[in-house]
Structure 1
Amino acid sequence: MRKQYPCVEVDLSKITYNAKQILSMCKNKGIDVVGVTKVFCAEIPIINALLQAGFTHVGDSRVQNLKKMEQINCKKMLLRISMESEAEQVIKYSDVSLNSELKTIKILSQKAKEVNRTHNIILMVDIGDLREGVLIKDVLGIVKEIMNLQHIKLVGLGTNVTCYGGVIPDRDNLMKLVNLRSEIKNLYKLDLPIISGGNSSSLYLVMNGSIPKEINQLRVGEGIILGRETSFGGPIPNCYDDAFILKGEIVEIKDKPTVPTGKIGMDAFGNKPHFQDKGIRKRAIVAVGRQDIKVDGLFPLDKNISIFGASSDHLLLDVTDSASPLKVGDIVEFKMDYGCVLASMTSNYVKKYYEKQPEYSLVNC
């Protein structure tokens, strides 16, 4: 089969392998892992790779993606705070949802009543990152209100850090959740089974053994797909960082100056570009652009290739020193960071291919 470009090649065996390593690492600390599917738009082959590794719970931020996996036999979590306008679908397509607004929780209760169901929720608590979550001082009052809703079951407390404010999870701020659960148990005789202690940024605490023992759930996406924790960007032992590879086709190669001729104004994105004069260089144009990818999240596999920049549709490369001579029609390969994977998997203009390689062993990592 002749491949179409640009494309992302996903090595499903590496995904399964990374997933197994993270599951094992967390299980040793008594932590269940929810596999986050949003970065790859809940593509079914990748979800199946997670299930093959042993995952039983997946989570996504979009109800549309949960709907895609309706027939998959696993528990499903809605990660983004529920919208009132989607309440009926939240009840239908998720087994548990993350919530922080009492008004929305009451609407979820009403929609659950209409279909004779009880919907599980995790109450999100803001421990400092200032994204979603109830302020700590308000938690007890909101829990009391939730307990009066017949079709809502509060199953835990959760938090999210790093994604907005860059706040790093640590023992001190995660213990705020632990202490809140104790207060809720003492005050209301309600023993919440889940403390959901964040995302891939909490993995470093698992790795160094300092995560509070009461934290028993993490929601992990980047750790699985790129093999790294996200507080410091460190690698997770025995995991791969190249399960997702972007491939693009060269459509032009020419020797050109490195500084444009003429008066410099704004580029297509409203920025005034600056250029370093490196003389005449061999420039390749690859048919992929900012409409499809996050340019600063691309890393050529050939380390002798560097990126000049990009427009909406064209990626400009310096291939003067490439490891092998390149010509029009050749394919250039890139590793990607999280934001670039997210953009490329979301783009309708980037083809996706799923490769099933032989099982890997630790020595290959």
Structure 2
Amino acid sequence: MNLPRIDIDLAKIAHNVQQLKKLYGSKGIDIIGVTKVIGGNPIIADVLVQNGIEILADSRIANIIKMRRAGIRAQYLLLRTPALSQVENVVTHTNISLNSELEVLKKLSEYALKNHIIHKVVLMVELGDLREGIMPSEMDAIVKVVLKLKGLALVGIGTNLACFGGISPDEDKMNELSSIAIRLEEKFKITLAMVSGGNSANYKWFTSSKDVGRINSLRVGESIFLGREALCRKPILGLFTDIFTLMAEVIEAKRKPSQPYGTVYQNASGNTPRFKNKGFMDRAVLAIGTQDVVVSGITPKQEIIVLGATSDHMLIDNTKTSLRVGNTVAFNLNYSALLSVFCTPSIVKNTINQYECANIL
């Protein structure tokens, strides 16, 4: 099979989904499957849906269109708050969107009304991470306007934490979100079907809380695909953490100096590198580089050391393994590396341990 490639264990994905649904469902929380990290891959998305995921969430409309065209039957949620230039596609291709700007909401209403569509919206609340969200003090005024916008249905509120600012979705933050939901319901005589407390970083809060309040939804990607929570990156008991394996081929293996020689200027990345002189070493070059994967986010499974990478080549210390040309090196990936791999068309996506998926593609 062509290299580089990523091997994807579909049966392990199915297992993780089942376990997470059972875990969060024990306290009345539904999980939304986040597909952005797998580039909206329809085969993987189908595994999620067949194992009980009803809403698929992605930050790219192109990924949502890809899954729809492949016949994946689900509700589709746009994770990234819509741009004004996107409103037509948002209403046409998604069922739900996360919103924080009134100007955008008015345009969504305008297009939905024009096309006789009811588009569901979730208002995002800023609770300290300082990415997207309406300040709590402004929520009442925004809700008052949104409830009057025809073509839109306000179905919930949500928040995003532990992404930009690294702020923990702890008990205080979740209690605040619950309180905002209760106050809005009472003041405006409405029912919020979705109170979305966050993402895979909410695991620690969930396991330590006896009462989750009004939180009834989480947007989960990293826990499904990497088997861990996203606050401290600790594995979750009972989940697989080895679903994905990146494979790259050795295209050169030679004994060379450990330190470049000659006059040093900037390298291809614009950096001025410094290397320790360790004498001669067994070095190898792999046919993969920074345009394929976030190199800092991969960990070799063999006893090698990654020395660095350029756009198309990765350099490794091959002293302990003595790899030869044509051999392969296997890597584990973190979330950023996985995201980059699925955005790279030149990396083959190879599914193994086939789950009984619907007839798609």
Relative to the length of structure 2, the TM-score reads 0.95
Picking from 340, 343, 346, the partner of 2:340 is 343
Q: Which amino acid aligns with 2:40?
A: A
**Which letter does structure 2 place at the counterpart of 1:239?**
L
Question: Which whole-Å CA distance do the structure 1 matches of 2:355 and 2:152 have between them?
Answer: 45
CA contact (8 A) 2:27 2:212 kept: no
Partner residue in 1 for 2:23: 25
Q: Which amino acid aligns with 2:115?
A: V
Which residue of 2 is the match for residue 230 of structure 1?
A: 230
Q: Which amino acid aligns with 2:49?
A: L
Give, in whole Å, the separation in 2 of the partners of 1:210 and 1:344: 38
Can you list the C-alpha shifts for 1:160-195, whole angstroms capped at 9, x where unaligned? 111111111101012221111122122211221211
Structure 2 equivalent of residue 75 of structure 1: 75
AA partner of residue 332 (structure 1): V
Q: 1:50: which partner in 2?
A: 48
Report the counterpart of residue 184 of structure 2 in structure 1. 184
- 1:171 & 1:278 partners in 2: Cα distance? 51
Matched with 1:139 is 139
Displacement of 1:294 = 0.7
- Correspondences of 1:261-272 after superposition (within 5 Å): 261-272=261-272
SS at the partner of 2:281? strand
What residue in structure 2 maps to residue 318 of structure 1? 317
Change in Cα spacing, 1:281 to 1:358, as seen in structure 2 (3 Å) is farther
For 1:153, what is the secondary structure of its paired residue? strand
2: distance between equivalents of 1:8 and 1:100?
36
Aligned equivalent of 2:9: 11
In 1: Cα distance, 2:355 partner to 2:278 partner: 44
Identify the residue that residue 297 of structure 1 maps to in structure 2: 297
Tell me, what secondary structure is at the counterpart of 1:85? helix
State the shift of 1:310 in Å: 0.4
How many residues align? The count is 354
Task: Kindly provide the amino acid, as one letter, of the partner of residue 321 in structure 1.
Answer: K
Is 1:205–1:211's contact at 8 Å kept on the other side of the alignment?
no
- Is the alpha carbon distance of 1:211 and 1:160 closer, same or farther for their aligned partners in structure 2, counting shifts above 3 Å? farther
What is the SS of the residue equivalent to 1:239? coil
| Residues 318-355 of structure 1, C-alpha deviations (whole Å, 9 max, x = no match) | 12112xx4210111111111111111110122111111
In 2, the alpha carbon distance for the partners of 1:358 and 1:12 equals 6
Determine the C-alpha separation between the residues in 1 that align with 2:211 and 2:269: 43
How much has 1:280 moved relative to structure 2? 1.7
Mapped partners of 1:16, 1:267: distance in 2: 44
Equivalent in the alignment of 1:275: 275
Counterpart contact for 1:171–1:211, Cα < 8 Å: no
Provide the secondary structure at the position in 2 that maps to 1:260: coil
Give the gaps of 5 or more residues in structure 2. 357-361
* 2:359 aligned residue: none
Q: Which shows bigger deviation, 197-206 or 123-132?
A: 197-206
Q: Which residue of 2 aligns with 1:206?
A: 206
Q: Is the 8 A contact 1:25 1:206 kept in 2?
A: no
User: Do structure 1's residue 332 and structure 2's residue 329 form an aligned pair?
Assistant: yes
Q: Could you say which residue in structure 2 is the equivalent of 1:243? A: 243
Query: What is the CA deviation profile of residues 240-268 of structure 1, one whole-angstrom value per residue up to 9, with x for unaligned ones?
Result: 11111110110000111211112222111
Per-residue deviation at 1:90? 0.8
Superposed CA RMSD in Å reads 1.4
* Superposition misfits of 4+ residues, deviation over 4 angstroms: none
The aligned residue for residue 108 of structure 2 is: 108
Q: CA deviation at 1:357?
A: 5.2
Tell which deviates more after alignment, 66-75 or 326-335: 66-75
Contact 1:170–1:211 (CA<8 Å) still a contact in 2?
no
> How far off its partner does 1:56 sit?
1.3
Tell me which amino acid in the other structure corresponds to 2:116.
N
- CA distance in structure 2 between the aligned counterparts of 1:358 and 1:90, rounded to whole angstroms: 31
CA distance in 1, matches of 2:256, 2:27: 56
Question: Which amino acid in 2 is paired with 1:352?
Answer: K
Identity rate, percent:
38
Distance in 1 of aligned mates of 2:66 and 2:168: 33
Residue 209 of structure 1 deviates from its aligned partner by 3.4
The answer as to whether partners of 1:247 and 1:332 remain within 8 angstroms in 2 is yes
